Amino acid sequence: METFRQELLTQGVPQEIAEETAALLGDYLADVWGGTSVNFPRGFAASQAKADAEALALYDGSNLDQLAGQFGVSETCALGMVVRARARASTREAREDEEQTAH
């Protein structure tokens, strides 16, 4: 809970309150979730989709090296970003077409 306490202190919470709150949170989490494995996603999918869409918008067919540099990934990963964004766009368009056909 040290990380949580430090975050509270960073946010301007007085030290005594930060320590009490962190301890209470630690006890609560141990009581409720103790012995289980819990995965808390950090919004990776949403942030990845946003970056992928940005990469697709910037991609001109010949600038994978520039995209890789801009996003801090390899050229293969940059191409993967473009491919994922195209697939999402295609899926979205297919859904829209189905909805229009259904009405």
Q: What is the pLDDT of residues 29-84, one digit of tens each?
A: 899 888 888 766 677 777 888 999 999 999 999 999 999 999 999 999 999 999 99
Q: Which pLDDT does position 98 carry in this prediction?
A: 77
Predicted TM-score of the model (pTM)? 0.54
Cα distances (angstroms) measured from residue 85 to each of 22, 48, 56, 57 = 40, 10, 6, 9
Lowest-confidence segment of 14-18, 23-27, 82-86, 94-98 by average pLDDT: 94-98
Tokens of 58: 């910037």
Rounded Cα distance between 72 and 22, Å, is: 35
- pLDDT of residue 26 exceeding 80, the answer is yes
- Residue 46's pLDDT is 79
Which of 72, 85, 21 minimizes the C-alpha distance to 5? 21
Ranges 18-22, 37-41, 75-79, 98-102: which has the least confidence: 37-41
